[in-house]
Amino acid sequence: MRIGYEVGKRYRIIRSLGEGGMANVYEAEDLVQKRRVTLKMLRLDLQDDPRAVERFHKEANSLTKLDNPHIVQIYDFGNDHGVPYLIMEYVKGTDLKTYLKEHYPLSCEKVVDIMEQILSAVESAHRIGIIHRDLKPQNILIDNYGKVKVTDFGISIAAMESATITKTNTMIGSVHYISPEQARGSIITKQSDIYSLGIILFELLTGKVPFEGQTAVSIAVKHYRDNLPSARKINPQVPQALENVILHATAKNLKDRYPDAETMARDLKTALLPVRKNEPKWEVPTEDDAETKTLVIPSAESSKQRPATGSRKTKKAKKQKKKRIYRRHPIAFLIGTLGVIVVITILLMSLKVQVPDLRGMSVREAQEVLLSNNLKLGKKRYEYSNSYLKGQTISSDPARETTVNRNSKINIVISKGPLKTKFGSYIGQNFDQVRKKLKAKGVLVDKETTYSNKYPTGQIVSQSIDPSMKVSLYQLSVTFTVSEGVQTFKIRDLTGYTQKSVIDYAQEHNITIIFEQQYSNTVPKGQVISQDPKANTTVKAGSQVIITLSLGPNNNSENGNNNSETSQS
């Protein structure tokens, strides 16, 4: 797209900011708001590719739902001669990849500050069920003041109904930051973003990515097969507690990885505190890490040696012997009893599991996650939702993080998407009242004005959405054209105008002209002698104005009197 071209007759291209696999990005000027913006346009060769167009629209939809100071804000989206475009806030700075190259090495304090801002953005997206899936330094912007903004939600899993996109063996996203489950074409959850964040943290601290290879496939294999290199060996300034955050975020098994961005952020926040200075290296938990109680189980041989039955005297003697032991050694008895209780508690606890966070997942994904946690999918209930798109899980019963028995059935609520209703006609209604009513339902209301002879000031003249169209009101954008009443203006001094010039002026200002003619010795024939109302008088559109045109001198008049004629235009 050439410099100076006006996209949508509003956004003038200033310069190119870069070209991607799907879109071209430009710095542009918003001619209406008088501000710099970032313009993202689908590449011309992809405008007939339905998957590319769908992904582009998905990014627009994702961004409109996100509200966080560390996520690039979307201002507008539309089509220019059939080519989709996005208008986003302009971040004066650079991407994190370039920033790292120019400023490495970064202090640990600076790295933590950057990561906390990124985590804030990711946590906000996860909260409404959006998984980014392509987190990498190139998709993170940092301005000249150190403020971080996450962008490019083009392949986020906002639309769970697109199962072919979320569940394939195609590795979507940059391979250097891809999670093991993405690399295997397996289930993708919020923890996939956590893994990518761990890789970004590694790179910020070491200046390099952990895995390299000659092909994308070879790098992807390393993500789910090889252990991560030690960040501390590459950069000795990294404290163990900070490296532990990397290890915890990039655990191969989802059960060992941070469950969410909030948990990772909490751990990162304290990583540089003195209290964690001597923290040991974090290791992946194993079954043996739990406190072990040894149970002595009689062998089959010893069981055979024990008499099957005994006399009453023998049993009585044994009971009396036990009583004597317990009286002499009460502490030993107490310890033994506590040991039995601990063992039973451990056995019972091993039969308990926590309900995972299923929000934002499709039914199939929720079922797979439940099975991996030794749980079963129970009943499904459907309801409308403004926060979750059609097919996404809204909540579970029992709720997330509730402890339940293994193999319990977990009921889930699935989104039917936003409720759609006919928009209706608001023409002739008071704009302020309509705006208040619609804003309460989540509608974004814009206003344009026009003069109207039909509708009084403040009433709606027209609307951008057809009244019969079925729409979801939540975050819907509508523009109403509102009456400013009848147009008034100060009439110009028309003396000296020709009849044609007067007619042109009348059409321009929507006034009715009544022509009268009169002889004049001073005003040339065909020009205006006088007008009523006089010049600079305020009149309304549609008003009548009487114009007197000159007939020239009356050479046939004996007494000098002028005759006049009247006509209307």
Show which residues are catalytic.
134
Helix or strand holding residue 514 (H, E): strand 512-519
Q: Mapping DSSP to helix (H, G, I), strand (E, B) and coil, where does residue 78 land?
A: strand
Contact criterion met (CB below 8 Å) for 261 and 119? yes
Q: List the one residue out of 211, 215, 195, 205 whose CA is nearest residue 241.
A: 205
Contact criterion met (CB below 8 Å) for 259 and 195? no
Dist CA 366 CA 406 (whole Å)? 16
Question: In the chain, how long is the greatest CA-to-CA distance?
Answer: 164
Distances (CA, A) of 114 to 70, 121, 209, 383: 10, 11, 17, 39
DSSP string, 262-313: HHHHHHHHTTTSGGGTTPPPP----GGGSPP----PPPHHHHHHS-SS--HH
Contact criterion met (CB below 8 Å) for 423 and 416? no
Q: How many CB atoms lie within 10 A of CB 149?
A: 24
Using alpha carbons only, how large is the chain's radius of gyration in Å? 38
140-143, strands of its sheet edge to edge: 93-95, 140-143, 148-150
Length of the chain as a residue count? 569
Q: How many CB atoms lie within 10 A of CB 275?
A: 8
Dist CA 226 CA 106 (whole Å)? 27
Give the angle subtended at the CA of 60 by the CAs of 38 and 40, to the nearest 5°: 30
Q: What is the dihedral of CA 33, 35, 40, 41, to 10 degrees?
A: 50
